[in-house]
Structure 1
Amino acid sequence: MAKSLTRSCDTVYCASDVERNRRIGEVTSNGVVFDYTLAGSLGATFTLIREEGHSDEDLEIAAKELCRDRDVIGKIRIARVE
């Protein structure tokens, strides 16, 4: 079994924040919106935002893309929308 790149968290995003991130291009090639916070010169921490219709596989694919294309520090968190 492959090691998971993600972990669940208690973070909740409102729909307007998700749309703002989508508008500024913070979305993976498979349509998962993300947010990030700079964590110093080594990179950033990332949060994938689980929307209705996203499967666990969608989130893992998005996490792999972020790890490949960005300087990710630690596990990528998964938040939800309310």
Structure 2
Amino acid sequence: MSILQLDPPLPVITPKGDGYAHMLIDYGPEYHLLWVCFLDDSGECWTYNNTQIRAQKNVTLGRTFVSRHQAKSASAAE
């Protein structure tokens, strides 16, 4: 297992709203990466896997549209 602190944190869209991913947890090749995110509205900390989050728009990088599609099996890890 390894943990990476993201510096700077990455702005992401989660099932519970916009937030910032501060850490990335990698349990190895048989698992999804886990993103530790703090939500903008509530300050809550949630952990999501790759299928549950999206990067926020970034006009500077040319990412002007982000799909808010969520996988059918997506649920927040508690």
Scaled by the length of structure 2, the TM-score of the pair is 0.34
Q: Give the helix-richer structure, 1 or 2.
A: 1
Q: Which has the higher contact order (CA 8 A, sep 6+)?
A: 1
Structure of higher CA gyration radius:
2
Q: Give the strand-richer structure, 1 or 2.
A: 2
Scaled by the length of structure 1, the TM-score of the pair is 0.33
